[in-house]
């Protein structure tokens, strides 16, 4: 089985029946929704010649589709992609649990129930989006509320909250429901950490009652293919933000962190080494006015690589950008 990633202004007209899932990134323009699970990342694209980009993961074997507890999903023999959206207004807030926390915990419980039922129990990559990520309500920032719900679900469903956890991002989108897309497989991924950073799941209590439950990256395996997922990566060294207020400095620091994760991947990978210029990047930019300078700094660092720029909020209020990436290599037959 081979997994292919394609990014295009329009993919619906080219439907082949091999689409596992994907994302619509940008401003929706209406029209036909695809038959496969598609996460809506409704945010302005920056520097693009189109208002919308469709990203699609496709495989070269038959697929099965389904719906389970609000999750739209498709799977192949050893791989599953799903999307769930929950509205916080459907969950009751209490003194000890906000509606966002309750929705986050429930979303992950449903995901784990689906993966267990489909016997594909291992999360490889997760994309999390929520509204007003930096807003403080009930005495706690909303990102930290999300982290409580996410980690509680991991523990309740007998998944560890440290070590072997998926690559992930958590991004703020204006007016978004809690939206989670995920890719999972039969075998566990190999988690990657960054020697320049404290692992997110070991952050001190200064960053909230629960640490974020994700790895800095992951290597995942199909029979003849190695996949490299790099989580949302920002200007953090140790556990502290570096270069506050300086978008150029934050861009360089973020790419230094991505380079460190790539180095770790190359230490552990079964394929040829990865290089920065072959990755596909998605770049989240807090302030649209920073985009020209950010692009000027970033592009020489990534060469001819594909990059999509999206205006969105980052998980810390002093972070101006976050970068995630993906690449794949063919494995030699033994």
The burial of 225, by beta-carbon neighbours within 10 Å (0-12 exposed, 13-18 middle, 19 or more buried), is given as middle
* DSSP structure class, residue 175: T
H or E stretch including 137? strand 136-137
Q: In what order do the strands lie in the sheet with 19-26?
A: 3-8, 52-59, 19-26, 38-42
User: Is 253 noted as a catalytic residue in this protein?
Assistant: no
Classified as helix, coil or strand, 190 is strand
- The DSSP bridge partners found for residue 122 are 185
Distance CA 67, CA 82 (A): 9
What sections of the chain are H helices per DSSP? 99-117, 142-156, 247-268, 291-302
* Candidates 38, 141, 278, 322; catalytic one: 322
Distance CA 152, CA 147 (A): 8
Q: What is the CA radius of gyration of the chain?
A: 19
Residues recognised as catalytic: 322
């Amino acid at each position: 089985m081979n997994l292919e990633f394609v990014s295009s202004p329009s993919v619906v007209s080219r439907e082949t029946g091999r689409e596992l899932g994907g994302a619509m990134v940008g401003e929706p323009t209406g029209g036909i929704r695809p038959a496969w699970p598609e996460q809506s990342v409704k945010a302005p694209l920056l520097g693009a010649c189109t208002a919308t980009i469709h990203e699609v993961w496709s495989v070269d074997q038959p697929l099965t589709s389904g719906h389970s507890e609000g999750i739209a999903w498709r799977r192949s023999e050893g791989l599953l992609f799903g999307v769930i959206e929950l509205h916080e207004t459907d969950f009751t807030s209490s003194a000890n649990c906000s509606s966002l926390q309750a929705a986050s915990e429930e979303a992950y419980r449903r995901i784990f129930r689906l993966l267990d039922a489909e016997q594909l129990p291992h999360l490889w990559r997760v994309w999390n989006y929520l509204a007003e990520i930096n807003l403080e309500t009930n005495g706690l920032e909303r990102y930290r509320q999300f982290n409580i719900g996410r980690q509680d679900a991991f523990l309740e469903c007998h998944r560890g909250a440290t070590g072997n956890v998926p690559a992930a991002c958590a991004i703020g989108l204006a007016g978004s429901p809690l939206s989670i897309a995920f890719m999972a497989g039969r075998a566990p991924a190999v988690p990657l950490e960054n020697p320049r950073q404290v692992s997110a799941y070991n952050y001190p209590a200064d960053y909230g009652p629960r640490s974020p439950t994700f790895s800095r990256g992951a290597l995942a395996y199909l029979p003849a293919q190695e996949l490299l997922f790099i989580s949302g990566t920002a200007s953090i060294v140790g556990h502290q933000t570096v270069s506050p207020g300086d978008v150029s400095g934050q861009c360089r620091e973020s790419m230094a962190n991505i380079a460190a994760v790539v180095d770790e991947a190359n230490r552990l990978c079964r394929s040829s080494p990865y290089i920065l210029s072959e990755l596909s990047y998605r770049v989240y930019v807090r302030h649209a006015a920073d985009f020209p300078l950010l692009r000027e700094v970033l592009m020489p660092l990534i060469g001819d690589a594909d990059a999509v720029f999206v205006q969105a909020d980052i998980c810390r209020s002093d972070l101006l950008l976050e970068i995630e990436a993906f690449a794949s290599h063919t494995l030699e037959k033994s």
